[in-house]
Amino acid sequence: MEYVSALLPPVVMAVFFTGLVVTIVKSQGGANKSKEDAAVDAAIARAEAAGPAGEPRDA
């Protein structure tokens, strides 16, 4: 029975990891893709408008 207790944690982690990967792959694209892309584009635009980090802005 020691082999069962030795193999159980890796098997459980493998099943969990497989489920995680499947969930991530299924959530890519679809109806929310344009909304997610717009949110990322807006965040990039805000970051570019703020200028380089550490550079003082003119008051």
Domain boundaries, the chain: 2-50
pLDDT of residue 28: 79
Give the amino acid at 36.
E
Tens of pLDDT, residues 8-59: 999 999 999 999 999 988 877 777 777 778 888 999 999 988 877 656 656 5
Distances (CA, A) of 10 to 2, 5, 14: 14, 10, 6
Instruction: Give helix then strand counts, H and E, for the chain.
Output: 2, 0
Q: pTM for the full model?
A: 0.48
